[in-house]
Amino acid sequence: MLYDSLLLDLAIIVIAAEIGSIIFSKLKLSPILGMLIVGIIFGPFSPGLSIDPANIADLAELGAVFLMFNIGLEMDLNVFKKVKYTSSTILIIGTLLSFGVGLSLGLAFGWDLMKAAFLGAMLVSTSTTMALKFMSDLGTRHSMTMEAVAGSIVLDDLAGLIVMTIVSSIFVEELTSVPKMVSGVALIVVIMLVIIYMGSKIIPLTLETTNNVSPGSEVLFSVGMCFLLAFIFSMLNLSSYMGAFFAGSIIASTKYSTNVSVYIKPLSNLFSGIFFVSMGMMVDPTNLLPILPIALIISLASMVKFFGAFIPLYLKKVPLYDAIAGGIYLLPKGEVAIIVAGYGISIGALTSDFLSIGAIVMIVTSLITALAARFVRDMNVSKNGA
């Protein structure tokens, strides 16, 4: 029976994803890489036991929605008020540098404009999980400067989704002329602002009302609001992931955010694991070697994002150690890069090779960040010992 087959597939995926996640965490690498490799192992391109990605496609899509909802829950806009100018400056410079380099590289490789633009969108976001972990390991998380960097890292995910939404909308609507492109982008921004404004008024009021009637029900209503905003964005030919992200960020600014986060995180981990495994299933391991040179070039070029934090922090005359550390934290690529690649594939803008490129870039940038973080730690030890 199909139902029995799905249960077996889910059992294999969930258990294997957790094993892969643990192994890569022990190796000081992103657990997402472990999940992607599990997907490659059990995908249709590998010998032995394989799982049909079509069987879990809907659950994988749900995983991406939950992932972005959970990331949104971490973005309490009230927290960024003290460091909003520094965070915004880092965000803008880093986004422009990363997108510009990705776009330029794609065109230099001979790709069409749409593929090059999607590559730029993939390079915009920093891996929130990896960056904040490195920050915590170095013990720099609680300084004001690092709060600004942390704020820009979380906002990075939003920037990546916005760039992805704009690029994909231009592709879907075929906005080829400059006037159409400008008007199309303006319309997207207006629609998003209207939905966000309405959501920021309706969602807190709804949570307050439901909690008064039935204490504890705010969790289920939050999930419902996540699905509703994701649906509305999708119906408007915008990314459903963007809707889920904004739902999370709106709830994050309410008094119910902590309780919602506690209950949502395990659910998010479960479904996002299925998502990353499904992305790995789309990777043909025989194509990894041919694209390795391109992926390495992209990985090294993505290091330009270092200057997104280093330049504004250095100009603010913060200690050189903090400026260098801030730049290093922006280097690792992660979850949103894979989401952008997967979304591009789903609308026909990209080929599955982009997932392979994304996986390699994640590995290389994680290794470079780990080595650079050790250098910063040693530099800090030397400074304190001097």
Q: Are 340 and 123 in contact (CB under 8 A)?
A: no
Q: What is the pTM of this model?
A: 0.76
133-151 core/surface letters (b: 16 or more CB in 10 A; e: else): bbbeebebeebebbbbbbb
Q: How many angstroms separate the CA atoms of 33 and 355, rounded?
A: 12
Q: Which CA distances in Å does 89 have to 96, 125, 242, 303, 316?
A: 11, 15, 22, 18, 11
Q: Residue 81's pLDDT is what?
A: 63
3-class secondary structure, 58: helix
Residue 214: Cβ within 10 Å count? 11
3-class secondary structure, 373: helix
Q: How many angstroms separate the CA atoms of 61 and 210, rounded?
A: 28
Q: How many angstroms separate the CA atoms of 64 and 275, rounded?
A: 6
Q: Residue 123's pLDDT is what?
A: 93
Kindly state the DSSP code that residue 49 receives in the 8-state scheme: S
Q: How many angstroms separate the CA atoms of 299 and 358, rounded?
A: 9
Q: How many angstroms separate the CA atoms of 337 and 352, rounded?
A: 14
Q: Residue 168's pLDDT is what?
A: 78
The ranges of the chain with pLDDT < 50 are 386
Q: What is the pLDDT of residues 272-316, one digit of tens each?
A: 889 888 888 888 888 888 899 999 999 999 999 999 999 998 888
Q: How many angstroms separate the CA atoms of 35 and 277, rounded?
A: 5
Residue 230 identity (one-letter amino acid) = A
Q: Are 266 and 364 in contact (CB under 8 A)?
A: no
Residue 129: Cβ within 10 Å count? 15
Q: Residue 172's pLDDT is what?
A: 63
Q: How many angstroms separate the CA atoms of 310 and 327, rounded?
A: 5
141 φ, ψ (degrees, to nearest 5): -60, -30
Q: Are 368 and 303 in contact (CB under 8 A)?
A: yes
Q: Residue 295's pLDDT is what?
A: 92
Q: How many angstroms separate the CA atoms of 354 and 345, rounded?
A: 8
Q: Residue 142's pLDDT is what?
A: 56
Give the residue extent of every domain in the chain: 54-385
Residues 6+ positions from 264 with CB-CB distance below 8 Å? 66, 69, 70, 73, 219, 222, 223
Which class for 1: exposed (0-12), middle (13-18), buried (19 or more C-beta within 10 A)?
exposed
Cα 373 vs. chain centroid, distance in angstroms?
A: 21
From the options 1.20.1530.20, 3.40.50.2000, 3.40.50.1110, 2.40.50.100, give the CATH code of 54-385: 1.20.1530.20
Q: Are 343 and 322 in contact (CB under 8 A)?
A: no
Q: How many angstroms separate the CA atoms of 199 and 32, rounded?
A: 31
Half-sphere exposure of 308 (CA within 13 A, CB side): 33
Q: Residue 279's pLDDT is what?
A: 83
Q: How many angstroms separate the CA atoms of 378 and 72, rounded?
A: 34
Per-residue tokens: 66: 């939950």
47-67 core/surface letters (b: 16 or more CB in 10 A; e: else): eeeebebebbeebbbbbbbbb
Locus of tokens 């929130």: 128
Residue 348 identity (one-letter amino acid) = G
Q: Residue 347's pLDDT is what?
A: 82
Q: Are 70 and 338 in contact (CB under 8 A)?
A: no
Q: Residue 19's pLDDT is what?
A: 92
Q: What is the pLDDT of residues 144-203, one digit of tens each?
A: 777 788 778 877 877 888 888 788 777 766 555 555 556 656 666 676 677 667 767 777
